[in-house]
Amino acid sequence: MFPNFLFVALAALVPLVMGFLYYSPKTFGNAWMKSAGLTMEMLEKSNKVLLFTSSYVLSFILSFFLFTLVVHQTDYYSLFVAEPGFGEEGSAIMTQIDAFMGQYGEYYRTFKHGALHGGLVGGFIGLPIIVINGLFETRGLKYGFINAGYWIITLSIMGGILCQWA
């Protein structure tokens, strides 16, 4: 099962849009800059083209992988990859897969379900990694929780888009 790459690309824009909103001075931007030891002048010196291009490419990779975590039907295909005839239209194994997907292929393919799993990825994978890094960088818990909050929300939205439409 391959995702619709248009929606993978669309979901990859979510971190950029959410970053603009979440790290705005009107939301968490000032608290984040203070906890990270940054100033607006330091941020303005960055290479914006490199920053946003690299961020989008990495977000695309994240979006593609997140699809496999929020769309459970991808796991079904992985069970049969080594079977003779896998990928060959009309083979016995592909007939079985097609029948299964015809019956169950749309189960749990909702925005809500994808958002739940995206949030779980953010909370149970992203949060520990980000907070641990922040602690070792001596930036404190506030820094870690601000960044982890961003990723939990962002991955929830991405997961919802991917599960519903990709």
Res. 1: pLDDT tops 80? no
Residue-wise pLDDT tens digits, 76-96: 988 999 999 999 999 999 999
99-102 contact pairs (CB < 8 A, 24+): 100/76, 101/1, 101/73, 101/76
Residue-wise pLDDT tens digits, 20-60: 999 999 999 999 999 999 999 999 999 999 999 999 999 99
pTM of the model: 0.93
DSSP string computed for 89-134: TT-HHHHHHHHHHHHHTTTT-SHHHHHHHHHHHIIIIIHHHHHHHH
Q: How high is the pLDDT of residue 100?
A: 94
Residue-wise pLDDT tens digits, 107-159: 999 999 999 999 999 999 999 999 999 999 999 999 999 999 999 999 999 99
Mean pLDDT value across residues 56-67: 98
Among residues 111, 106, 108, the alpha carbon closest in space to that of 164 is found at: 111
Give 2's pLDDT tier (boundaries 50, 70, 90): confident
Q: Taking the CA atoms of 42, 44, 50 and 56 in sequence, report the sign of the dihedral they define.
A: positive
